[in-house]
Amino acid sequence: MKLSATSIEPVVKRRVVPLDVDAAFALFTSGLATWWPLATHSIAEEQVASVRFDPAVGGRVVEVARDGSAVAWADVLAWDPPHRVALAWHLAPEPLAATVVDVRFSAIDGGTQVDLVHRAFEELGPTDGAAARDRYDHGWEPVLDDYVAAANR
């Protein structure tokens, strides 16, 4: 259910990594725990142990704390390896609504272009949606920088 009648501009990010499409997709999904900045971008913060990515529609992205407790960040909406993954992103223990993170991988000379579009902020309401959009516009930068750094190792 859309909480805002006003559309909120999506966050759009692009990165290029020196990997073929299969490797870029695998690193972003099944390799998520190897590059995601858990210390700064997690719910459990200093108690976080890992994050897991279930590779199928209906799967989840799940943060696991040191005590074994787990909380889902997202549900997998689209799974088209190695070209696209889309997530209902609801980074909260008990989400009321979700945004959508849609990531596409395209072969280019020398590697893969990764296009991330984070949209549907209006699902959070006009005030919360606009604030979330601004946080994610800045927040995706260090996250994707860590992804690129991992791809360059």
In a domain, 4, yes or no: no
Q: Does pLDDT of 3 surpass 60?
A: no
pLDDT in tens, 50-91: 999 999 999 999 999 999 999 999 999 999 999 999 999 997
d(CA 150, CA 82): 18
Residues 6+ apart with CB under 8 A from 108: 16
pLDDT computed for residue 52 by the predictor: 95
Give 98-152 pLDDT, tens digit per residue: 999 999 999 999 999 999 999 999 999 999 999 999 999 999 999 999 999 999 9
Q: Which residues pair with 63 in a beta bridge?
A: 51, 71
Backbone angles phi, psi at 40, to 5 degrees: -115, -15
Q: Is residue 6 part of a domain?
A: no
User: What pLDDT does residue 41 have?
Assistant: 87
The reply to whether 1 falls in a domain is no
CATH number of the structural domain spanning residue 114:
3.30.530.20
Which pLDDT value is given to residue 93?
A: 63
In this prediction, residue 109 carries a pLDDT of 97
The answer to whether position 85 is within a domain reads: yes
Domain that holds residue 50: 11-151
Residue 151 Cα to chain centre, angstroms: 16
pLDDT computed for residue 2 by the predictor: 54
Across 18-36, average pLDDT: 97
Side chain identity at residue 94, one-letter code: E
Tell me whether residue 130 is in a domain. Answer: yes
Q: Bridge partners of 118?
A: 11, 101
Whether 135 is covered by a domain: the verdict is: yes
Q: Say if 16 falls within a structural domain.
A: yes
pLDDT for 1 beyond 80: no
Phi, psi torsion values for 124, nearest 5 degrees: -90, 0
CA distance 3 to 10: 16
Q: How many domains does the chain have?
A: 1
Whether residue 3 is contained in a domain is answered as: no
